[in-house]
Amino acid sequence: MKTALPPSSTKRKPRIRLSGPTPSTTKKDQKPVALLELEQLAWKIDFIVQNIKYPEAFVKDLVKSFRAMASNGSIQPLLDCLRSWEATAELDASPPTRKRILKAYSDLRSGKIKTTRSRKKFLEKVNAD
C-alpha cells in the first residue's frame, strides 16, 4: 500500500527574494512621486540656482526642507521651500520687475501712496519683523 503525503508537504514554499527592489511602504495619505514630478522639481531647482543672487542660502534652505521631509514624512516642506525661492528667482531674473516692486514698497512705506486700514496693518506687521 502507498502512503499519501500530507497536503502541506506537497505545497511549494513561497520564494523569498534576497536582492532586488523592495516594495515601498507609503502612508495612506502620501502618493509616490512620479518621474514627471521629479523632472519638474529638478527643473525648478535648476531655474532657482541659475537666477538667484545667493545660491548658498538656497542650498541651506533646501537641505533644511529635506531634513523636515525626513522627520515628518511629508513632501510639503520641500514644495514650500521651492515655491518661495522660485518667486525670488523670478524677481532676480527680471531686474525691471524687481525695481518696480521695490519702488512701490518704498512708496507705500514712506506714505506717498495712500493706504487703507488693512494695508497699514500689513505694513506694521512687515516693519515689525
Read off the pLDDT of residues 24-80 as tens digits, 9 standing for 90 and up.
444 555 555 566 678 888 888 998 999 888 899 999 999 999 999 889 988 889 889
Instruction: Give the helix ranges, DSSP H, for 7-111.
Output: 7-10, 35-51, 55-72, 76-93, 95-110
Residue 24 lies in a domain: no
> How many Cα atoms are found within 13 Å in the side-chain-facing hemisphere of 85?
27
Q: Decide if 114 is inside a domain.
A: yes
Q: What DSSP character marks residue 19?
A: S
Residue 18 domain flag: no
List the domain range (segments joined by +) for residue 103: 34-128
Instruction: Indicate whether 52 belongs to any domain.
Output: yes
Is residue 16 included in any domain, yes or no?
A: no
The residues, any chain, with a CB within 8 Å of residue 106's CB and separated by 6 or more, are none
Q: How many domains does the chain have?
A: 1
Specify if 14 maps to a domain: no
Q: What angle do CA 111, 108, 100 make, to 5 degrees?
A: 135
- Look at the pTM and tell me if it is higher than 0.85: no
**Structural domain contains residue 95:** yes
Q: What are phi and psi of 33, to 5 degrees?
A: -80, 125
5 in a domain, yes or no? no
- Give the tens place of pLDDT for each residue, 76-128: 898 899 999 998 888 888 888 878 888 888 887 787 776 677 777 777 777 76
